[in-house]
Amino acid sequence: MSRSKTSIALIVVFVGIKLGYTAYRNHSATTTIATTSSLPALTTTTDVVTTTQPSISTTSTPMSRTMATPETLTPTGDGALTGRIIAIDPGHNGNNWSVPSVISQLVPDGRGEKACDTTGTSTNDGYPEASFSYAVAMRLSTLLRAAGATVVLTRSNNASVGPCVNRRAEIGNEAHADVALSIHGDGAPASGRGFTVLVPVRSSVNGAIVTPSSVLARDVVTAFQSAMPISNYLGSNGVAPRSDLAGLNLTTVPKVLIECGNMRNSTDAALMKSATWQDRAAQALANALTTYLGGNS
């Protein structure tokens, strides 16, 4: 009986070992399967990291937030403006809003100091002045270059910052431009309509170009009425002298700034957002510049 119990005990131990080994094998297989099935998740995670790297880079790139540089565009044809150099300044810049600490820095304005730049205004539904001014500037550049002019832009895109207002004047001066034009849209009360041409007031720098700038202003007023009525809220007969603008105080070449319309007025805004109207505005400005330069050849 004692020997039988011993035999039974050995059998039980053997069976236990066998069952334990089988369970171990099953557990190992399950672990392997589970690990294998998790590989796609790891791959997916890696793919996500890869696809998110560009946005990380974009977030940290100051390239879209650095100060804009000028661009010189060569003529594409010959015509009434052959040999002329024209500086075009599209107001503000598309990324100014992202670096308030930069554009709020004070710079010389020809009579004192003022902020480097501002974000500009917009239509009530959010179309930015910076986008408008750049769109018209590019259309105008195309027309001027086809007529033989070299065009110097104060900024080459709408995705950077600035340049500062004093630098905008310097770019035209350094290019020895025959004439300079700054393109803007106004942000006045919604009841106001129309365009205004802003002209320089004599400063310690711009004395020699105040009179020719007034001639240029008259040519712009005459031509631009084909696109927009004269302002009913700003200036007189479409012209307003300004002594607080660095671009006009510091210029040494004939220059005016045009507020092409009131972006807060629904009628003006609808026009200014239209590509067709932007073409008309560019053509009117090209006509004005051609008239001015033809009269001063």
Calpha distance 68→91 (Å, rounded): 12
In three-state secondary structure terms, 140 is helix
Calpha distance 287→297 (Å, rounded): 15
Q: List all residues 6 or more positions away from 185 whose beta carbon is below 8 Å from its beta carbon.
A: 91, 120, 121, 129, 132, 133, 259, 260, 261, 262, 263, 272
Q: Is the dihedral of CA 107, 111, 117, 119 positive or negative?
A: positive
Catalytic residue among 113, 170, 174, 259: 259
Return the DSSP state at 222: H
Quick check: 185 and 121 in contact, CB under 8 A?
A: yes
Please say if 129 is a catalytic residue.
no
In three-state secondary structure terms, 28 is helix
Which residue in 175, 207, 166 sits closest to 86, CA to CA? 175
Quick check: 242 and 167 in contact, CB under 8 A?
A: no
Burial of 235 from C-beta contacts in 10 A (0-12 / 13-18 / 19+): buried
Backbone angles phi and psi of 267, in degrees to 5:
-70, -50
Tell me the catalytic residues: 259
